[in-house]
Chains A and B, each alone.
Chain A
Amino acid sequence: MGYALQQLINGLTLGAMYGLIAIGYTMVYGIIGMINFAHGEIYMIGAFLSVLTYVLCTALGIGPTPLVLLAMLFVSVAFTALYGWAVERIAYRPLRGAPRLAPLISAIGMSIFLQNYVQLTQGARIKSVPPLWQGGVTLWSADDFRVTFGWAQLTVVVVTLIVMAGFAWMITRTSFGRQQRACEQDPKMAALLGIDVDRTISLTFILGAALAAVAGMMAVLQYGVIDFSIGFIAGIKAFTAAVLGGIGSIPGAMLGGLLIGLVEAFWSAYLSPEYKDVATFSILVLVLLFRPTGLLGKPDVEKV
């Protein structure tokens, strides 16, 4: 029981991060019907910017820890959003209306470029931040097994909840949210009604990148070790989460992220930790075969 609970906490933490990245995939898909293959690299850049801010803060002697964390969050989100905007401007906007294959390939090119750009400017070696907290709170203990919620894990889950709540409010209650949803449903009609569709698409990329930056910073807090190649596997798993939840559906992306996190945690808990990626990607195959619209997806989606 305690063991299962501990694995549940691990799964929640992992799932929270996947969910944050998955929202970026699903939003972009919703509005332009394309998978943004550079999104994993955006997450990686968010993580690098957090580490850079941390190093800068320590070098300048800026403390205490909460202040450093806030600085990491703001710098990472602001600059990563800029990268998200640039990806849209460079790889997508010039190809609006082009055959579907063209933006797909330009996005893959963008992904390769970003990865190599970080490798060249930051070096291929790992970058790390020492652990900011030790231990955690003991939730429950029985049979010599203490269920511990690590401080870093707790931060990840709480920050993700706050960010997701704010994001849901923005999509459902603000005028930008309405515009975003309108463009998603029918870009031509939205344009006729005076919505600047290009601007809305730009903002969608910026928002997706900001959420990925939060995920990148959470990864730095939780794991503390990053390198230029972390975007690929995280991106693919978040993509799986978005597909599982129903691509195009924002609540679906959150749910999908959570489920993938839990599947990975429980697979390595009761089966083989060696093959947990097999479990994740089997889900991708099965969902695409038997329920291509995912758990919360709209059945009328016919874009590929």
Chain B
Amino acid sequence: MTPLRTLALAAGLAAPLLAHADWLVGVAGPFTGQYASAGDQIKKGAEAAAADINAKGGVLGQKIKLEYGDDACDPKQAVAVANALVNKKVQFVHGHWCSSSTIPASDIYNDADIVMATVSTNPQVTERGLKNLFRIMGRDDQQGSVIGQWIASKFKDKKVAVLDDKSAYGKGLADEIAKAMKAAGKEPVLRESITAGEKDYSGIVTRLKNAGVDVLAYGGYHTEVALLLRQSDQVGLPLVIVGGDTMTNSELVTAAGKFADRVYFTFTPDPRKNPQATPIVERFRAAKIEPEGYVLYAYAALQLFEQAVTQAGGVERAKLEPVLRKGKFDTAIGTLEFDEKGDLKKPAFAIYKWTGGRYDYAE
């Protein structure tokens, strides 16, 4: 073999390898605009994960390279960003952040056969039959079943009533709670609705008192919860209220005062408290970055990519999708498993409790 031919052969072999020398991972989110703080967290998490994975030698011997797309939480811009990322030939996407961006953008990734992992919580994200989409966070409507099951086990011997405010969110949540309670063998003693925006709920709280209710599962917003707490105190009923993520609003504490300490609610778990994440959290803190909010979710999305690609032996949709749907993945936000729709099998919601104006995990 002449040196020239050897060189030509080597070049010929090397060319395709050079073209795919890096895994191109798209990270899409609101890096500017109103929600830029969330975008910033995503960026920090993704960068740290890519650096950590590349330091260990990459995935299947190839390094990860990140490609950012800024949608500013605008559905129209999200479509443009998705097309741009597809043109840049990204092989995996983490994003978008806003449900209203994720929904239109995911159709474009689906057409381009790109697998994606998102943190958007609207049920519609996974209800449209897309198979390329995996959600690494809980859905809005999973809260109800989490609350219902928790009530059934925590308040076994107590009387529980279910109330809603007739809003789409509130009634949906309360219906799910009641369903999950019944499934767990706990029958609500009362199922009623109130009108949100009113001020006087003394009639309904007296009714709860008369029915001997100890715990109220409530679907609705924090204003009515504050009113229910204050008025139940006046009729001499120490009511405990369990609600959804709307109870994170600190207005609840100003309006309900110390009665707010009787409120439990579901919210996405704080991944910093996950034992699997401890070494990662420490590394972030050493680099003077607080891994709050979506930082660890972005980190986990890239860990998911790393593990799935390693198991599948490639990034093509036909290989990656079945692996993601069947496998178990240990990440910074816990062990992830997906169902047929691409939702998490174990909905990641934790029960929190207000205490003295701050909320933390309920015991």
B209 and A145 within 8 A (CB): yes
B206 and A269 within 8 A (CB): yes
Distance (whole angstroms) from the CB of A123 to the closest CB of chain B: 12
A125 contacts chain B at the CB level, 8 A cutoff: yes
B192 to A, closest residue via Cβ = A273
By a CB distance below 8 angstroms, the chain A residues around B194 are 273-274
Most buried by A among B199, B201, B230: B199
Distance (whole angstroms) from the CB of A14 to the closest CB of chain B: 5
B204 and A273 within 8 A (CB): yes
Query: Which residues of chain B from 182 to 234 have a CB within 8 Å of any chain A CB?
Result: 192-195, 197-204, 206-207, 209-210, 212, 223, 226-227, 230-231, 233-234
By a CB distance below 8 angstroms, the chain B residues around A135 are 233-234, 236
Distance (whole angstroms) from the CB of A17 to the closest CB of chain B: 9
By a CB distance below 8 angstroms, the chain B residues around A145 are 209-210
A126 and B223 within 8 A (CB): yes
B192 and A274 within 8 A (CB): yes
B251 contacts chain A at the CB level, 8 A cutoff: yes
B38 contacts chain A at the CB level, 8 A cutoff: no
A146 and B236 within 8 A (CB): yes
Distance (whole angstroms) from the CB of A54 to the closest CB of chain B: 12
By a CB distance below 8 angstroms, the chain A residues around B166 are 274
A169 contacts chain B at the CB level, 8 A cutoff: no
**Cα separation A126 to B257 with both chains bound (whole Å):** 15
By a CB distance below 8 angstroms, the chain A residues around B201 are 273
A225 and B223 within 8 A (CB): yes
Most buried by B among A6, A153, A274: A6
By a CB distance below 8 angstroms, the chain A residues around B233 are 131, 134-135, 150
B259 and A131 within 8 A (CB): yes
By a CB distance below 8 angstroms, the chain A residues around B197 are 229, 233
A130 contacts chain B at the CB level, 8 A cutoff: yes
**Cα separation A134 to B236 with both chains bound (whole Å):** 9
B199 and A6 within 8 A (CB): no
Q: How many residues of A contact B (CB 8 A)?
A: 43
By a CB distance below 8 angstroms, the chain B residues around A150 are 231, 233-236
B254 contacts chain A at the CB level, 8 A cutoff: yes
By a CB distance below 8 angstroms, the chain B residues around A264 are 200, 203
B251 and A224 within 8 A (CB): no
Query: Which residues of chain B from 235 to 259 have a CB within 8 Å of any chain A CB?
Result: 235-236, 251, 254-259
B207 and A269 within 8 A (CB): yes
B255 and A265 within 8 A (CB): no
Distance (whole angstroms) from the CB of B229 to the closest CB of chain A: 9
Chain A 121-142, CB within 8 Å of chain B: the 1/0 string? 0000110101100111010000
A219 contacts chain B at the CB level, 8 A cutoff: yes
A272 contacts chain B at the CB level, 8 A cutoff: yes
**Cα separation A29 to B203 with both chains bound (whole Å):** 31
B230 and A223 within 8 A (CB): yes
B251 and A10 within 8 A (CB): no
A268 and B203 within 8 A (CB): yes
A225 and B210 within 8 A (CB): no
Chain A 52-88, CB within 8 Å of chain B: the 1/0 string? 0000000000000000000000000000000000000
Distance (whole angstroms) from the CB of A147 to the closest CB of chain B: 8
Chain A 194-228, CB within 8 Å of chain B: the 1/0 string? 00000000000000000000000001000111100
By a CB distance below 8 angstroms, the chain A residues around B255 are 126, 128, 130, 224-225
Distance (whole angstroms) from the CB of A134 to the closest CB of chain B: 6
Known interface pairs A126-B255, A128-B251; A148-B207 also in contact (CB < 8 Å): no
Distance (whole angstroms) from the CB of A78 to the closest CB of chain B: 24
B227 and A273 within 8 A (CB): no
By a CB distance below 8 angstroms, the chain B residues around A226 are 199
**Cα separation A6 to B205 with both chains bound (whole Å):** 10
By a CB distance below 8 angstroms, the chain A residues around B193 are 273-274
**Cα separation A274 to B199 with both chains bound (whole Å):** 13
By a CB distance below 8 angstroms, the chain B residues around A134 are 233
B223 and A148 within 8 A (CB): no
Distance (whole angstroms) from the CB of A220 to the closest CB of chain B: 10
A113 contacts chain B at the CB level, 8 A cutoff: no
Known interface pairs A138-B236, A148-B235; A268-B204 also in contact (CB < 8 Å): yes
**Cα separation A224 to B251 with both chains bound (whole Å):** 12
Known interface pairs A128-B226, A131-B230, A152-B234; A14-B200 also in contact (CB < 8 Å): yes
By a CB distance below 8 angstroms, the chain B residues around A152 are 234
Known interface pairs A135-B233, A146-B236; A223-B227 also in contact (CB < 8 Å): yes
Known interface pairs A128-B254, A130-B257, A225-B227; A276-B203 also in contact (CB < 8 Å): yes
By a CB distance below 8 angstroms, the chain B residues around A269 are 203, 206-207
A25 contacts chain B at the CB level, 8 A cutoff: no
By a CB distance below 8 angstroms, the chain B residues around A136 are 234, 236
Question: What are 29 A-B pairs at a CB distance below 8 A?
Answer: A3-B206, A7-B203, A126-B223, A126-B251, A128-B255, A130-B257, A131-B230, A131-B256, A131-B257, A131-B259, A135-B233, A136-B234, A144-B212, A145-B209, A148-B236, A151-B234, A223-B230, A223-B231, A224-B227, A225-B199, A225-B223, A225-B226, A233-B197, A264-B203, A268-B203, A269-B207, A274-B194, A274-B195, A277-B195
Interfacial residues, chain B to chain A (CB-CB below 8 A)? 166, 192-195, 197-204, 206-207, 209-210, 212, 223, 226-227, 230-231, 233-236, 251, 254-259
Closest CB pairs A-B (n = 8): A150-B234, A268-B203, A148-B236, A128-B255, A10-B202, A130-B257, A274-B193, A273-B204
